[in-house]
Amino acid sequence: MNCRSEVLEVSVEGRQVEEAMLAVLHTVLLHRSTGKFHYKKEGTYSIGTVGTQDVDCDFIDFTYVRVSSDELDRALRKVVGEFKDALRNSGGDGLGQMSLEFYQKKKSRWPFSDECIPWEVWTVKVHVVALATEQERQICREKVGEKLCEKVINIVEVMNRHEYLPKMPMQSEVDNVFDTGLRDVQPYLYKISFQITDALGTSVTTTMRRLIKDTLAL
Amino acid sequence: METDINSQDRKDLDKFIKFFALKTVQVIVQARLGEKICTRSSSSPTGSDWFNLAIKDIPEVTHEAKKALAGQLPAIGRSMCVEISLKTSEGDSMELEIWCLEMNEKCDKEIKISYTVYNRLSLLLKSLLAITRVTPAYRLSRKQGHEYVILYRIYFGEVQLNGLGEGFQTVRVGTVGTPMGTITLSCAYRINLAFMSTRQFERTPPIMGIIIDHFVDRPYPSSSPMHPCNYRTTGEDTGVTYPSVEDSQEVCTTSFSTSPPSQCVFTVTKAHFQTPTPVVTDTLRVPMAGLAFSHQPAALGVGSADLAYPVVFAAGLNTTHPHQLMVPGKEGGVPLAPNQPAHGAQADQERLATYTPSDGAHCAATPSSEDTETVSNSSEGRASPHDVLETIFARKVGAFVNKPINQVTLTSLDIPFAMFAPKNLELEDADPMVNPPDSPDTESPLQGSLHSDGSSGGSSGNTHDDFVMIDFKPAFSKDDILPMDLGTFYREFQNPPQLSSLSIDIGAQSMAEDLDSLPEKLAVHEKNVREFDAFVETLQ
C-alpha cells in the first residue's frame, strides 16, 4: 500500500527543541495508541483504558496532551534528547528532522527477515534559531506556542481523514501491528529516527539512525 | 434509511452517540477548569470507561448535559452546543467558544457500528482532548481566578454564533460517519478578545450557568476535581453576580486601593458599586469629594505620597505644605474614570467626573483627575476653582467624616462648572490660612525672588482665595514692559463668568430651537442650490 507521509515544520529556539518535538510526537502517538488488548476465546478481545495527561511546556506557551504512559514518555524523551544533542553538536545551521514511522511487520519465510512496511510517516523538520535579547525570546515563546497549536490542528485533521489503518489483528498477529511491549498502552508499531541536515538538505557526517525498537534483531 | 440498519445496531448506535455526547461535554468542561487534567491508563479493562478512554465524569456536568439533552440525541438540525464564556468580577461577560456536536444527512451505510464507529468515536474524543488545549480560551482558562472565571452552558437546538464577535474562527475536530448520518464535532472560537462591556450574559439568560470556581479547595480530591461552590441556576442570580444596575458605565470598579478610611480617601471598593444602598451612597459621596480634593491637615497619611499633587503655586511652597491637593492619581491603578454624570447636561463636560451612586442620588460634582491635572499643571494661579472646592472640602479631618456632607451639597449644584459659580462659602473664619492676614494689594508680586517665602505679597484680595500666596512668579514673564504682569493678569481673570452656552436652560433651549429651525434652513438652502453650484464652479 502507499505510505501516507505528513511533514511538519517548526522554527524554534535551541532550548525549545525538546518540548516542541515531544509535543508533536506525543500528539501523534495519542491518536495512534489504544489500550492493551486482552484476547479472550473465540477471537474476541477487550481493550484496556488509555489515560491522558496535560503537559505544560517550560519554554513555550503551550500545553499538550499525552497518553499516561511513563514508559512511552521515557522512550520519546530519550530519542528527542539525542536529537537535540546532535543538533547542538552539529554546529551547522541548526537544521534537522525527526521521523516517526508507523509500520507493519510482514512475516517472511526464512531466511529472509521480516519486512517492515510503513503505512504512515510523520516528519518534523526543525530549524533552530538563535535569539539575542530576552524580549525576542519572550515573543518566540508565544509565537512557537501558536505555531504548535496550528500543528496540533493539522495533525488532528490528518487523523480525522480515517484513511488506512491496519486491520485489527488476531492474537497471533498482534505483534505485527502493535507494540505490545509497554505495560499500560499499546501504540501501533513505530520507529523514530532523525537526521541532521545542512542548508542544502543533504545529510552530513553526523547522520545517525537510531531505532527505538530493534525489530530487525533476529 | 432506517431499514438498512438493524434494531440492535440502531440501539448500539444511539447509545454510543449518547455517551459520546456526554463525554464530549466532560472533556470540554474539564479542559476549561483551569487545571491540568491527568488520568491513569489501565491495562485491564474496567468496563465502565467508554471509548476506552479514561475520562472522569463530573456529576454536575453530566447532570447538566442530560438536562440539556432531555432524552434527545443530536440529530439533523438539532445540535448539542457547549458555550464557554468568560465573566469578570465586575459582571461583564464575553462568549469565547461554542463547541458543536452536529449530525448531518450524509450516511455511511457500510460502516460497522460496534467496531468501526466505536473506534472512530474514540479517536474523535482523543482529537477533542488535543484541540481543547489549543484554542485561545485554554490559556485564558488556565489563568482564571480572581479577575475572571470561565463559565459553560449547554444547550440543544440551533447553534448560536452571534456572541462570538467579528471574524471568529472555526476548527473542525473531526467527523464520524454512521448509517444514520455523519457526526461532526467542531469549535467556533472568538478571535477578537478585546473586552466588550455589554451585558451579553443577560441578553440570553442561560439555561444554566455554573461557575467553575477554583478558589476553594477540593473536598474530594479523589473524585471530582471541580468544586461548584457557586452552583446556581437561572432565576437565582444574585445581585452580586449580575449587578442590577443597568448602566454599563460603572467602570470605576476596575481597581481600587482599599485603605483604611482615615487615610485613603478613595476607599470605595467594588462592593460599593455593586450594591446600591444609601449607605453606600453616602460613603460614596464623601470619598468622591475627597477623591478630588482632600484637604487634610498635615497628617496626610493619605494613601501614598505619590498621589499627592503639590499645590500649583510653585514659588515658595513646600510640597509638604498642608495645602496639598489630594488627587486620585492615575498611578496605583486607582481609577477615576468618569462615571455617569449625575445630570444629563453635564455629560459633555469632560472636566467633570460625577459619580453616580446607583440610586442616582444627587452627588457631588467633583472635578476629575484630568481636570485637576489640567488645572494644576497649566493654570498656575488659577486657584479659584480649586479654592472654591477646596474651601468646601478643606479642613476635613477624614474622608468619611459626616461634616463634609453639608459642604458637599453646596457644590452639588445643578450646573456645569459648578465650581466656577460664585457662591457663599462657609469659611472657617478662624482659620488663618483661609483668611490670610491682611495681605497687601498686589502691586508687585514680582518683587523678590522666586523663592522668597514669607512675603505674602502675592496674596490675592479675592476672598475666594484660601491659599496663602506667598509669591507668584509665572515663568518666563517679564515685568518691565507692561504695567500688568502675567501673574496679575491671571489673578484678575481667574473667575471668568460662566459661559452662557453652557448653562442648561439656555443650552437646552437653543438646542431645541436649532433643531426646530433645521428644516427651514434646509429648505432655504435647497432653494439656493443653483447659486451654490455656481459658486462651487467658480472655485474650480
Domain spans of chain A, in order of start: 4-209
Helix axes A70-90, A17-31, angle to 10 degrees: 140
Nearest to B45 among A48, A63, A159 (CB): A48
Q: Say if the Cβ atoms of A49 and B175 lie within 8 Å.
A: no
Which cell is B489 given? 493678569
Which residue of B lies nearest to A147 if distances are taken between CA atoms?
B134
Cβ pair B43:A34 closer than 8 A = no
Residues 82-141 of B with CB under 8 A from A: 115, 120, 123-124, 126-127, 129-131, 133-135, 138-139
- Per the CB < 8 A criterion, the answer to whether A189 and A179 are in contact is yes
φ, ψ of residue B309 in degrees (nearest 5): -100, 125
Write the CB contacts of A169 (distance below 8 Å, at least 6 apart in sequence): A176, A177, A178
Q: What is the pLDDT of residues B166-178, one digit of tens each?
A: 888 999 999 999 8
Q: Chain B contacts of A54, Cβ < 8 Å? A: 36-38, 133
DSSP state of B166: T
Tell how far CA A132 is from the center of its chain: 30
Predicted pLDDT at B332: 38
How far is Cα B470 from Cα B452, in angstroms, rounded to an integer? 8
Q: With CA atoms as reference, report the closest residue to B23 among B45, B46, B56.
A: B56
Q: Does this model's pTM top 0.90? A: no
Distance (Å, whole) CA B407 – CA B391:
9
Number of C-beta neighbours around residue B249 at 10 A = 14
Residue B281 has pLDDT above 90, yes or no: no
Question: How many Cβ atoms are within 10 Å of A81's Cβ, its own excluded?
Answer: 14
Tell me which residue of A58, A36, A33 sits closest to A46, measured CA to CA.
Answer: A36
Omega of the bond leading into B404 within 30 degrees of 0 (cis): no
B505 vs A185: which has the higher pLDDT: A185
Please give the pLDDT value at position A192.
94
Contact A128, A86 (CB under 8 A): no
How high is the pLDDT of residue B49? 84
B76's grid cell = 439533523
CA neighbor of B328 nearest in space, from B286, B385, B368: B368
Across chain B, what does the average pLDDT equal? Answer: 62
> What beta strand segments (E) does B264-421 contain?
308-309, 325-326, 352-354, 365-367
Give yes or no for a contact between A209 and A193, defined as CB atoms under 8 angstroms apart.
yes
Of A49, A54, A159, the CB nearest to B54: A49
Of B41, B124, B130, Cβ closest to residue A27:
B130
Report the alpha-carbon distance of residue B512 to residue B506 in Å, rounded. Answer: 10
What is the DSSP track for B319-331? Answer: TTSS--EE---SG
Q: Which of B31-40, B150-159, B264-273 has the lowest mean pLDDT?
A: B264-273
Report the pLDDT value the prediction gives residue B388, as an integer from 0 to 100: 39
Taking the CA of residue B41 and the nearest CA in chain A, the distance in Å comes to: 4
- The set of residues, in sequence order, having a beta carbon less than 8 Å from that of B210 and lying 6+ positions away, is B60, B64, B151, B152, B228, B230, B231, B232
Contact assessment for residue A182 and residue A165, using Cβ atoms and an 8 Å cutoff: no
pLDDT score for B470: 60
Nearest to B120 by CA among B208, B219, B52, B26: B52
Instruction: Give the pLDDT confidence of B424-457 residue by residue, as tens digits.
Output: 444 444 444 444 444 444 444 444 344 444 334 3
- The answer to whether residues B299 and B259 touch, using CB atoms and an 8 Å cutoff, is no
Q: What is the pLDDT of residue B231?
A: 33
CA distances from B61 to A54, A167, A213, B38 (A): 20, 36, 42, 18
Per-residue model confidence (pLDDT) at position B414: 56
Verify whether the Cβ–Cβ distance B43 to A30 is below 8 Å.
no
DSSP state for residue B115 in the 8-state scheme: I
* Highest mean pLDDT: which range of B144-153, B294-303, B325-334: B144-153
Q: pLDDT per position in chain A (218 positions), as tens?
A: 578 899 999 999 989 999 999 999 999 999 999 999 888 877 788 889 999 999 999 999 999 999 999 999 999 999 999 999 998 888 767 889 999 999 998 887 777 777 889 999 999 999 999 888 999 999 999 999 999 999 999 999 999 988 888 888 888 888 899 999 999 999 999 999 998 886 555 554 434 444 544 444 43
B388-398 pLDDT, tens digit each: 333 333 344 45
By Cβ distance, the residue of B44, B142, B171 closest to A153 is B171
Of B39-53, B325-339, B385-399, B511-525, the range with the lowest mean pLDDT is B325-339
Q: Cα-atom radius of gyration of chain B, to the nearest Å?
A: 34
B356/B359 Cα distance (integer angstroms): 8
Higher pLDDT, B253 or B81: B81
Helix or strand (DSSP H, E) at A4: strand A4-13
pLDDT at B469: 59
The pLDDT score that the predictor gives to residue B6 is 82
Answer with the residue of higher pLDDT: B50 or B339: B50
pLDDT (0 to 100) of residue B172 = 93
Q: Which residues is B365 bridged to in the sheet? A: B354
A119 Cβ under 8 Å from any chain B Cβ: no
- Which residues on neighbouring strands pair with residue B97, listed in sequence order? B84, B189
Shortest Cα distance, chain B CAs vs residue A105, angstroms = 22
Of the partner residues B40, B49, B138, the one whose CB lies closest to the CB of residue A68 = B40
Write down the pLDDT at residue B91. 86
